[in-house]
Amino acid sequence: MTTEMKFHVLTLFPHMVTGGLLTGVTGRAAEKKIISLNAVNIRDYTADKHGKVDDYPYGGGAGMLMQAQPVFDAWKSVTGGRNIRTIYVTPQGVPFTQKTARELSRERELVFLCGHYEGIDERVLEKVVTDSFSIGDYILTGGELPAMVMIDAIARLIPGVLGNQASPEEESFHNDLLEYPQYSRPEVWEGVPVPGVLLSGDHRKVEEWRLEQSEARTAARRPDLYGKYREKQQVIKMLSKEKRNNIHIMESLSSGKGEILYAKEDRLLVYDRASRLCMINARDLVSGEKLADMIPEETGLAVVSEEFLTEILQERGYRISSRCRQLLYTRKETLPVKYKDIRSVSMEYFPYICAHYHGEDAEWAEYVRERILAGDMYGAFAEGRPAGFIGIHSEGSLGMLFVEEAYRGRGIGASLEAFGVNRILEKGRTPFVYVEDRNELSLRLQEKLGFIQAKKTFFWLEKSACK
């Protein structure tokens, strides 16, 4: 199993790449082996004895062109001919955005190809490149700086790279809003004081002020983003009329993870790209067929609450993996945690969790690793050893609850779940869980903790082996 995110950069200036990226946050991530950086000198693969990698372009024109052979051989040296996502850095590429960075952060290995001179022979680009990205409508002397920008943006989204895992979630461009203004000491500088609300100690008022500032700043500076944000808010308001049945979609949109692919009246398709999960609401077979046709090809999971949608999806290669009840915790106060030795777990406990959660399955093992690095796995400990665990799934639900048989009956399961609920509340989110339809013991636990049950039954479907 891959233990680190691998970045390969094919370049004429490897020291420029390593000098820029093996410092600061990305440098520390490399030291911790969360990421690795392999800067490959394309000149090392030229057949020319003088180290030449360029030549005049056929048809004439100004400047020189990088030749296909050294580029291809450099690419093959790191991929072995494997189908690894290969990014060509070029002004002709599609714009690189935060959404792109988040999508690419889900990969386990990436190759960046940096061009120079007038570009690269088209034949090798057609052979190896899967994506072409640009960081802006301007020309640079080479692709190294854009590649470094993209790698930095991608790396900081990988769990474990940033010390404070909340940081990538509360920043510019999160949930289609620009970041609110921030202030530090001194309290008054050049006669300008810090806004009084930030000194009030009232966290609710601080959060309200920050949201107002983000909305105003986005509307003024980025009306395109603000339009998307307003659309989400309108959909969330519509869904809130049946909050119990729609909390999973509302939370996905509120957290900035969900992307609206279609929304009209009671027909809705939302895609969580990080989880490769589609959430679908439809009123009848016709609208269900239409929405199913819009599901992204890379989707691995779907959750629906209408049986006719399960039939439509099964015709498209999905299978029902579970039939569940959805429950949500609507109170604002935290729950008491009676069992005290519960805390976040580190990668030290990765083998333990994997052994009790889907066993040796490599896909699930990678998922567990991601959840641990994201700071979303919590363990209960007894007599100096782990006794159980719980986690927050990538799409926002609470789950993965396990308690060893020898420690059951001590209230550890209820305490683990209460601990998880409190962590979600701290993030300003609404806790919700899925429970297998016939798991009466778990359903009673949820109700005891104060969860309320949705009226509908939910079906989880998967297209292939996925998280």
Q: Report d(CA 66, CA 51) in Å as an integer.
A: 12
Q: Which residues contact 280 (CB under 8 A, 6 or more apart)?
A: 268, 269, 270, 288, 291, 292, 295, 302, 303, 304, 309
- From CA 279, how far away is CA 302, in angstroms rounded? 6
C-alpha span between 375 and 449 (Å, rounded): 23
64: left (phi over 0), alpha (psi -120 to 50) or beta: beta
At residue 170, the pLDDT reads: 46
DSSP per-residue codes, 381-408 = EETTEEEEEEEE-TTS-EEEEEE-GGGT
Q: Which pLDDT value is given to residue 361?
A: 81
Q: What is the dihedral of CA 90, 155, 250, 327, to 10 degrees?
A: 150
**Token pair belonging to 71:** 């580029």
**Residue 205: what pLDDT?**
95
pLDDT given for residue 118 in this prediction? 83
For residues 166 and 149, give the distance between their C-alpha atoms in angstroms, rounded to a whole number: 21
Q: Do the Cβ atoms of 435 and 398 come closer than 8 Å? A: no
Strand ranges, E, within 76-164 = 86-95, 109-114, 131-134
Query: What's residue 265's pLDDT?
Result: 81
Q: 10 Å Cβ neighbour count for 31?
A: 10
CA distance 399 to 328: 12
| Residue 449 token pair | 């903790």
Q: 81-119 as b/e, with b when 16 or more CB fall inside 10 Å?
A: eeebebbbbbbebeebebebbbebbbeebbbbbbbbbeb
At 448, give phi and psi (nearest 5°).
-65, -35
Predicted confidence at residue 49, as pLDDT, reads 85
Candidates 466, 465, 436, 462; CA nearest to 319 is 462
Q: What is the CA radius of gyration of the chain?
A: 25
pLDDT for residue 173: 60
- Taking alpha carbons only, the member of 42, 41, 38 closest to residue 71 is 42
* Residue 137 host element (H or E): none
* CB neighbour burial string for 275-292, b if at least 16 within 10 angstroms, e if fewer: bbbbbbbbeeeebbeebb
Q: How far apart are CA 322 and CA 437, in angstroms?
A: 8
- pLDDT tens digit string along 159-181? 889 865 544 554 456 678 998 99
Q: What is the pLDDT of residue 174?
A: 66
CB contact at 8 A, 24 and 54: no
H-type helices in 240-374, by residue range? 243-254, 285-292, 307-314, 350-356, 362-373
At 282-333, the pLDDT tens digits run: 999 999 999 999 999 999 999 999 999 999 999 999 999 999 999 999 999 9
Vertex 239: Cα angle to 331 and 399 (nearest 5)? 50
Is residue 269 a contact partner of residue 261, using CB atoms and an 8 Å limit?
yes
Q: State the residue for tokens 């000198």.
A: 41
pLDDT of residue 465: 53
pLDDT (tens digit, 0 to 9) for every residue of the chain, 467 residues total?
Answer: 446 899 999 999 999 999 999 999 999 999 999 999 999 999 999 988 888 999 888 887 778 899 999 999 999 999 998 999 999 999 999 999 988 998 899 899 999 999 998 899 999 999 999 999 999 999 999 999 999 999 999 999 998 898 655 445 544 566 789 989 999 999 999 999 999 999 999 988 999 999 999 999 999 999 999 999 999 999 999 999 999 999 999 999 998 889 999 999 889 999 998 889 999 999 999 999 999 999 999 999 999 999 999 999 999 999 999 999 999 999 999 999 999 999 999 989 999 999 999 877 888 888 998 899 888 999 999 998 999 999 999 999 999 999 999 999 999 999 999 999 999 999 889 999 999 998 999 999 999 999 999 999 999 999 965 44
**pLDDT at residue 168, rounded to an integer:** 52
Q: How far apart are CA 128 and CA 113, in angstroms?
A: 10
Element (H, E) at 304: strand 301-304
- Here the tokens at position 416 are 């683990």
